[in-house]
Each structure stands twice: as C-alpha cells, then as structure tokens.
C-alpha cells in the first residue's frame, strides 16, 4: 500500500517543532553562564593577590626567625655601627672579615712655620665621615687658642668644591694665629682635602652657613685652592 502525501507532511512538521539538542544546550548556557561584572572580578583578583603576598611575607618571616634561632643566618663578621667595626678590627686575630677597611690618608698641618705631613690610618666609611675624622685630627695638631671650641657643623660637596661650615669660634682660632699662621692652617686643610678626597680641588670656608666678611686675618670670601704647578 502506498504512503499518502499527508503522512510525509505530518512527519516534517513534527521534526521542525523539535529543537536540536545543541540549540537547547546553548540557550541554557547563555542564561545561566553570564560573567560577573568587571568590578567584582577585579575585586576578586585583588583579594587573591593580597592573600598570596601576605602568605608569602608571613611565611618568609617565620622561616627567617627560625633560621636565626639556629644561628644559620647569623653573621658574626658584620658590624652594625662604627664601634662594633672598630672592636672587630682591634681583635687579637687582626684579620679583617667584614666590608669595612682601614685606609691610609696623608694629613697636612702647620708646624714651626711650615707644612708637614703625617700618615694617618682611618676606618674608612663615606667621604663626609672621613673628612670629619681628618679635620678632627688636624685640629688636634693645632695648638692655637680656640681650637677646642671650634666645631665643624656641616660638610657638603658640589662638584670639585668642598664646603666646610664652622661655628663662630673658628674665626677666633684664625685671629689668634695671625695672618701667616692662618694661611698655613687653611693651606694644610686644603692640601689634606684635595690630595685625599678626589675630585675635591678647592675648599670654601663658611661660618654659620655664611661667607664671613670679616673677623679673620685671611680672606674667606673666596674658595681656597693649591697653586697649580
């Protein structure tokens, strides 16, 4: 018996009404799988990063404390300040086992109307500290009145010029030495600075942060430098 035309038509309409499985899955996914807002996602990632950083920091701190208690990371050859460094250098062994080092400088100072030199060893640090130590030794060699009251307030450098800022008794010290003695003393300072601390070539002397116009037997309004040979 042959199939009627109506039977084909009914079957076609039934299949057209049925949605394919893939279409149903895509619609369900689109309805239930919407992404969160950008602000919420950024907040979530920020929380994750903060948590990871805090966990790593706390874990590292705990590990370092445990290693320090067991003396694994403890360095006995490292000094925290100058006093500890000097104690290490003055130890019985005489072996320098830290980054600090003794450096030999040449100190120039006036004596009996001339400039004499002397080798001085210092525990060297930054340039400003070395300059202060050398000036302290230079003033110790000076027997003029006012030397004990003279204080170096500031040390700073600009290019090849070193600025030394003293308190007012510095002018009294120079006045008590007279013109020749003051010139020799300042020459000793300039020679000490220029030969030991490159690239310093000249020195300017200040009193309370200003160029003294008077009160000294030598001209302190200009920078002092050694004559070129």
Q: What share of the chain is helix, strand, coil (3-state, %, to 5)?
A: 45, 20, 35
pLDDT, average across residues 162-170? 95
Do 137 and 206 belong together in one domain?
yes
Do 22 and 110 belong together in one domain?
no
Strand ranges (E), the chain: 101-111, 114-124, 152-158, 161-166, 202-207, 224-225
Is the per-residue pLDDT at 28 higher than 60?
A: no
Closest CA to 125 of 116, 117, 134: 134
Do 134 and 193 belong together in one domain?
yes
pLDDT, average across residues 136-151? 80
pLDDT, average across residues 158-174? 94
Domain end, chosen from 49, 69, 89, is at 69
Q: What's the pLDDT at 33?
A: 55
Do 195 and 116 belong together in one domain?
yes
Is the per-residue pLDDT at 162 higher than 80?
A: yes
Q: What's the pLDDT at 147?
A: 72
Q: What's the pLDDT at 52?
A: 86
Boundaries of domain holding 38: 5-69
Residue 85 lies in a domain: no
- pLDDT tens for 85-134 read 666 666 645 444 445 678 999 999 998 889 999 999 998 889 999 999 99
């Amino acid at each position: 018996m042959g199939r009627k035309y109506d039977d084909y038509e009914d079957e076609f309409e039934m299949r057209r009404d049925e949605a394919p499985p893939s279409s149903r899955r895509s619609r369900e996914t689109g309805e239930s799988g919407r992404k969160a807002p950008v602000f919420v996602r950024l907040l979530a990632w920020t929380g994750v990063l903060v948590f990871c950083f805090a966990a790593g920091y706390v874990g590292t701190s705990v590990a370092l404390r445990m290693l320090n208690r067991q003396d694994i990371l403890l360095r006995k050859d490292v000094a925290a300040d100058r006093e500890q460094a000097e104690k290490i250098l003055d130890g019985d062994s005489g072996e320098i086992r830290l980054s600090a080092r003794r450096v030999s400088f040449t100190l120039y100072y006036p004596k009996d109307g001339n400039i004499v030199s002397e080798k001085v060893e210092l525990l060297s640090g930054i340039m400003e500290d070395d300059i202060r130590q050398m000036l302290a030794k230079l003033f110790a060699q000076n027997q003029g009145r006012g030397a004990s009251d003279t204080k170096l307030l500031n040390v700073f450098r600009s290019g090849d010029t070193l600025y030394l800022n003293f308190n007012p008794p510095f002018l009294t010290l120079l006045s008590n030495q007279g013109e020749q003695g003051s010139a020799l003393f300042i020459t000793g300072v300039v020679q000490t600075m220029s030969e030991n601390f490159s690239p310093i070539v000249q020195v300017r002397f200040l009193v309370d942060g200003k160029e003294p116009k008077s009160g000294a037997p030598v001209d302190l309004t200009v920078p002092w430098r050694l004559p070129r040979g």
